[in-house]
Chains A and B, each alone.
Chain A
Amino acid sequence: MIAKAARKASAFDSSLLVRAVGDAFLKLDPRKLARNPVIFVTEIVTVLVTILAVRDLFSGGPLWFSGQIALWLWFTVLFATFAEAVAEGRGKAQADALRRTRTQGQAKRLSDPKNRGRFEKIGSNALKVGDVIIVEANDVIPSDGDIIEGVASVNESAITGESAPVIREAGGDRSAVTGGTQVLSDWIVVRITAAPGETFIDRMIALVEGAKRQKTPNEIALDVLLAGLTLIFVLVVVTIVGLASYAGAHVSVTTLVALFITLIPTTIGGLLSAIGIAGMDRLVRFNVIATSGRAVEAAGDVDTLLLDKTGTITFGNRMADELVAVAGVPPRDLAEAALLSSLADLTPEGRSIVEFVNSKAGIKNPDLGGKKVDFVAFTAQTRISGADIDGVPYRKGAVDSVLAAIGATAPPDFAAAVERIARTGGTPLAVAKGKQLLGVIHLKDIVKPDIKERFAALRAMGIKTVMVTGDNKITAAAIASEAGVDEFIAQATPEDKLSYIRKAQEGGRLVGMCGDGTNDAPALAQADVGIALQSGTQAAREAANMVDLDSTPTKLIEVVEIGKQMLMTRGALTTFSIANDVAKYFAIIPVLFVSTYPELKALNVMGLNQDTAIISAVIFNALIIIALIPLALRGVKYRPLGAAAVLRNNLLIYGLGGIIAPFIGIKLVDLFVNLFV
């Protein structure tokens, strides 16, 4: 339902922008703005200056000045609300798309779960938790639930955007179905697990729309700091009245307000919520739904990642990697035998052997037309598969089974090869033609090509990777060292995972993990960041604080990066905002006291026109918000470096840059303003 189009829409899509402009005005409502202390205070003093400007209009005061200031202060507030509206825009569009397709259909409720034939039709809104329904081919599943009987292919494109149907069946880790998806074939009996209005899609709507958006812990702390700074500047500015009176200087309220607004951190105050919304939005575009902003933020804090071996670190299946011929057997004979014995083998291992021989040995699949071919399928008893071609048996299988079947003993070089393969965590398959032992196929877990670099990057960021696998220690160690993970848990049970997470957390670590099965649920709940795969069970999805709609376990790494990027963006803009203040003092203070102490014009280091300096500072202060909206939405540039390097770079750009930029910016604005004076 997150239509691909909506997902890809740019934040600066013109229709979204038009809508954002309208929303920006609606957000001026002080009751809504009160959530944002800095901008709320800005609005209050803006109203004050507006009243003063109106007074000047009738009393013949300096309207040109107070009117200008009032106008630009309104822009400051509007730019801040606009930033938030733009950030929310895409989420709103997605929520609309989701709503349009939300089903208002009928459900077939069974009065007796055992009897599929007798059902009553009720509105899907009337379904309660625990009701049992039947869903047949072409029915839309009315609500979230667990399959208790049957198997069906389901089109989940409404949620995942993937059009290929998936198989859902009772029992196991693929029993969850989601309301709004459609059964394409067969039938299933489903027990409802969500009350109306609390289904997965309802929650998705609420989340992408930001309706339930709560401030994250860091956002709250930052808000406190910004409110504190605002309070400090209230004191600074208000006391100027008293301090200046000692020197006999009179300072106008409008000027003081201008100084105040330029000093308080309006830049970060105006962009703070936009950054948070954009962070959630980036996840949604990434096809990950977080239950809260808190979860996204926690992802940035994670310093230990539990990764399942299969699917994350290695491709799902073992693959042929090497052929070792017995002494005296030409390698080509072995390759041909391996190929022939695997032609009919449709298991991933079998196909990998065919592929390996095709590409590495350069032998094409033979034309078997006209030959008498009998395929022998693999069974758990024989542990051998192969084919009889014109009566010649080609066999491959577990080493001892094959040896027993052909009644041979292992020659020393063959035994050595088998031992070596087993020791490095691979699986040896013996290959025989007739009664002749030809050699061994080395099947191994293939580590994904770029995974080692990614783990190195994670390590540089201070994140420890832990591989979780059901394999034995030897196999696990071999793969762990090949993939470059920091630690591994071999022969892992769900309890092992849970206890590992607990222990890590007691040591002060924050743990992220990915899981799909019901038995993963406790660990997912215990982890600081748990990502459930959309293909997983309802229990796993409930326990996790994020759901990955694409069901690709590597996403955990990207989610961590998005979390970090969100925090970095906040920190960078806060630093920038505070650093900006230095220049503003140099713009405003000389003007403020110049009538009393003309000598203070020496502080006018930017050489501003003293009639327009204050307005220039206010204009700069407003425009910088607009200028930084793209950065707030996109996030600061993220590179997987250690904290020290990241800090140095960002401090240079946003700290030092934040001090220097406004000197240049205010000067430019002042030059521009003076074109019209």
Chain B
Amino acid sequence: MTFVGWIQIVTFFALVAVTAPPVGIFMGRVFMGERTFLHPVLEPIERGFYWLAGVDSNKGQDWRAYVVAMLMFSVVGFLSLYALLRFQAGLPLNPSGFGQVSPDMAFNTAISFLTNTNWQSYSGESTMSHLSQMAGLTVHNFLSAATGIALAIALTRAFARSQMRELGNFWVDLTRCTLYILLPLSIVIALALILLGLPQTLLPWVKVTTLEGIQQTLSMGPVASQIAIKQLGTNGGGFFNANSAHPFESPNAWTNLIEMWALLVIGFGLTFTFGRMVGDKRQGYVLAAVMAVLLVSGSIAAYVAESSGNPIVTAAGVDPSLGNMEGKEVRFGTALSSTFAAITTGTSCGAVNSMHDSFTPLGGMVPLFLIELGEVLPGGVGSGLYGILVFAIIAVFVAGLMVGRTPEYLGKKIGAREMKLAVLAILILPVSILGLTAIAAVLDAGKAGPLNTGPHGFSEILYAFSSATGNNGSAFAGLTASTPFYNVMLAIAMLLGRFAYIVPMMAIAGSIATKIKTPIAAGTFPTDNSLFVGLVIGVILITGGLQFFPALALGPIAEHFMMMAGHLSP
């Protein structure tokens, strides 16, 4: 740990803290239908879309209609992306002449981008044509992000309204999110990245002569535009296999900072949008505080673990002053690599600028555990907000009875129906993560995946299913996941993690919206103070901890104590 390292971490989080509120307020204006400075330019385009699609933008949808619209949209998105990948060999913009993508790989990839996971079973620079990257993957980077945000806004409206059925219109929310929020921000970020040295070209590669005098072929392409939305939409699917560790995705400290900022700004911004839309800003601050406390703690834990290095390596004569530098880029250093690992897993982004597989056991447990906490810190764009609201509902219910009233959150009474649906939603995590990991750990096809043996190999499997279920997409790289077994199993995990969560969550929204909003009084369970922040943190930690403690004990925790005892994996 160094002073500069701490300064880097503090500066970064301060930057997010300053910029997220205005972004959140802007998003609130967009979703509440207020005019913004972008309206003169974009409103005609927005109307044009509605006219083309025959959408009545004033017509509200109840939760069922909203979910059905979202599901239909997703099915069409999946089929078109799958077809594009399968037929890319014969389609234009394929300068490298890549062949078609195999069925299981195309299935996995289509699900992956549909669900905002961006798990990359493929290696971008050697698999995907420019058309697949631009018209397939990048388009879904926008749409999956916009879908998540739209759903979160629908849930927000449920809390804001009293005795209503309508939660807004999916098509309108989707269009406005893409047009007014994601596109403008991506363009600005992409331009900044281009200025700082990212390539943006339709050329497939350049041949260069290196300093050693060797000829090398460097893959290129429309990188900057994809990286901007990859970070902003917490997608995480890089242009190159090495993701943000690749010098063309993030050549220097400035691009690293911008990419890290883009990763958090919407997630945190949405908490301010939430506070604004429910008419009580403090409620938004509380959610932001919960996210921030856990996320910053994760960053610090990872930084401490990584700076401490590996005693076995130190004993072998390696200078430990830089910490554990295996799998890290020197241009980013330990502090920003650890922080990146925390924020990319606290959100469901999954972009990486260092290899989590090479972290120390506890350093690597941080990203793993952050994913397993449910991807709510601040989680995927939109999905993090609706995720943390489900936790807030559970926290309110468990502790809320203690004030002697039927628990209520934002004036809405939490009853058996909400509890049933909330429980159904949080059950998805153990079902998918623990269930599928256990299956993989038993079957030969699963056991063939990990590169390492012992607890680290186990961590690689656990991480893959955690990442897929959390729609994160980052990997403990040691796992060979491009097999049909993992392609299919992980696609199932991604589907469960996204849609099996969304449906009960939206049913909660439907039920909450129809409830009467009770006025706040001294007897009301307070959800706008630090006590509630602590309570939600406790619920998130205990829920996550209780579910995954045995699995973590068999993976990183066992590995950590073995490392401390000077043992190598068996």
Contacts and interface: CB of A to CB of B under 8 A. Distances in A.
Contacts of B445: none
Interface in A563-582: 563-565, 567-568, 570-572, 574-575, 578-579, 581-582
A246 B441 contact: yes
A643 B526 CA distance: 7
B434 interface: yes
A244 B397 contact: no
Contacts of B547: 232, 236
A585 B427 contact: no
B399 A647 contact: yes
A585 B519 contact: no
A45 interface: no
Interface stretch (A74-82, A216-224, A474-482, A660-668): A216-224
Nearest to B421: A224
A597 B405 contact: no
Contacts of A459: 522
A107 B403 CA distance: 51
B435 A218 contact: no
B549 interface: yes
B162 interface: yes
Contacts of A507: 519
B525 A647 contact: yes
Nearest to A566: B404
Most buried by B among A460, A592, A644: A644
Contacts of A648: 531
B525 A643 contact: yes
Contacts of A239: 430, 434-435, 437-438, 551
Interface string A577-604: 0110110010001001100110110110
B402 A463 contact: no
A300 B562 CA distance: 54
A571 B551 contact: no
A10 interface: no
A643 B523 contact: yes
Nearest to B414: A221
Interface string B412-423: 001110111001
Nearest to A649: B402
A5 interface: no
B561 A600 contact: yes
Nearest to B563: A599
Given A464-B521, A567-B406, A245 B442 contact: yes
A508 interface: yes
B42 interface: no
Interface string B446-462: 01000000110110010
A638 B458 CA distance: 50
A303 interface: yes
Interface in B485-537: 516-519, 521-526, 529, 531, 535
Interface string A189-220: 00000000000000000000000000001101
Nearest to A577: B398
Contact of B404 (A232, A644, A646): A646
A582 B554 CA distance: 17
B398 A225 contact: yes
B69 interface: no
B438 to A, nearest CB: 3
Contacts of B550: 236, 240, 243, 585, 589, 592
A247 interface: yes
Interface string B424-435: 101100110011
Contacts of A589: 549-550, 553
A224 B416 contact: yes
Most buried by B among A218, A238, A581: A218
B561 A571 contact: no
A642 interface: yes
Given A243-B458, A243-B554, A571 B398 contact: yes
Given A459-B522, A508-B517, A579-B542, A647 B531 contact: yes
B7 interface: no
A603 B461 CA distance: 23
A415 interface: no
A568 B401 contact: yes
B76 to A, nearest CB: 33
Contact of A301 (B405, B535, B551): B405
Most buried by B among A228, A240, A464, A596: A228
A217 B406 contact: yes
Contact of B434 (A236, A565, A574): A236
- Size band of the interface chain A makes with B: 35 or more
B439 interface: yes
Interface string A95-126: 00000000000000000000000000000000
Nearest to A574: B398
B401 A218 contact: yes
Nearest to B162: A508
Contacts of A506: 516
A670 interface: no
A243 B552 CA distance: 10
Nearest to A507: B519
Nearest to A259: B550
B288 interface: no
A241 interface: yes
Contacts of A602: 561, 564
Main secondary structure of the interface of B (DSSP, over half): helix
Contacts of B403: 568, 571, 643, 646-647, 650
Contacts of A642: 522-523
Interface in A435-488: 459-464
Contact of A567 (B404, B524, B562): B404
Contacts of A218: 401, 406, 415
Interface in B462-477: none
Most buried by B among A236, A572, A647: A647
B214 interface: no
B522 A236 contact: no
A217 B437 contact: no
A221 B416 contact: yes
B400 interface: yes
Contacts of B551: 239, 243
Contact of A603 (B426, B431, B553): B553
A571 B400 contact: yes
Contacts of B447: 246
Contact of A593 (B162, B519, B558, B567): B558
B265 interface: no
Contact of B526 (A244, A638, A647, A655): A647
Interface in B138-176: 162
B434 to A, nearest CB: 4
A280 interface: no
Given A221-B414, A643-B522, A242 B517 contact: no
A509 interface: yes
A388 to B, nearest CB: 59
Contacts of A167: none
A62 B306 CA distance: 44
Most buried by A among B434, B458, B525, B547: B434
A508 B404 contact: no
11 contacts: A222-B401, A235-B431, A243-B441, A463-B521, A568-B402, A570-B401, A597-B558, A600-B558, A643-B405, A650-B402, A655-B538
Given A222-B397, A300-B405, A651-B402, 15 more contacts: A221-B416, A228-B426, A236-B550, A242-B442, A243-B437, A246-B441, A247-B454, A568-B401, A571-B398, A574-B401, A578-B542, A589-B553, A593-B553, A596-B558, A646-B403
Pick the 9 closest A-B CB pairs, nearest first.
Answer: A462-B523, A571-B401, A242-B438, A564-B404, A228-B423, A599-B561, A571-B402, A508-B518, A462-B522
Interface of B: 162, 394, 397-406, 411, 414-416, 418-420, 423-424, 426-427, 430-431, 434-435, 437-439, 441-442, 447, 454-455, 457-458, 461, 516-519, 521-526, 529, 531, 535, 538, 542, 545-547, 549-551, 553-554, 557-558, 561-562, 564-565, 567
